[in-house]
Amino acid sequence: MKDLLLTVMTVSLGTGIVNLLAPEGKMKKQITFVTALVLCAALFAPLVKQMGRELSFDFSLPSSAPVDSDEAKETILRLTADALCRQLEDEVSYRFAVTSPSLTLTLDGHDPSAVTIVSGHLKGVGEVEAAAAYLTALLRCSVTAEAIVQEESHG
């Protein structure tokens, strides 16, 4: 109660000083309105705080179940590998001007805490061998290359 009284007195004094210093006219009306809102907030804050304690809503989300099934683990592993392949295909296309790159990665997911890339195979048109050498160094595993030869159309 003592804290409430002290807070209301301090806020009232502050808002009174602000109202005295405010310039006359339309601006003074706006400042008076805002300071009245601040005073109301100071009055109702302890009440809202007390109501929050009494109601005590639990807004926590239920914890998600851990992934236990092998099928779920394989799905997560496959989706991760697919996303990694798409990103590396974009990189190879940009760095080595390989068109239509297709990267396949073989993963070892026996230990879920440390998925390992075992090997890779890159297909595409262009500097596929150089791109495969780059991926071998980047991924620290063997990446084979298969250059696709485009037939020239005669017309």
Concatenate the DSSP letters of all residues of 69-99 into one string. -HHHHHHHHHHHHHHHHHHHHHHHHHHH--E
Confidence of residue 14 (pLDDT cuts 50, 70, 90): confident
| 104 phi/psi in degrees, rounded to 5 | -120, 125
User: CA 97, CA 90: separation in Å to the nearest integer?
Assistant: 10
Contacts of 21 (CB under 8 A, 6+ apart): none
Please state the pTM of the whole predicted model: 0.51
Region 38-65 average pLDDT: 67
Q: Tell me, what's the pLDDT at 65?
A: 55
Instruction: Single out the residue of 124, 126, 119 nearest to residue 104, CA to CA.
Output: 119
Across 131-150, average pLDDT: 90
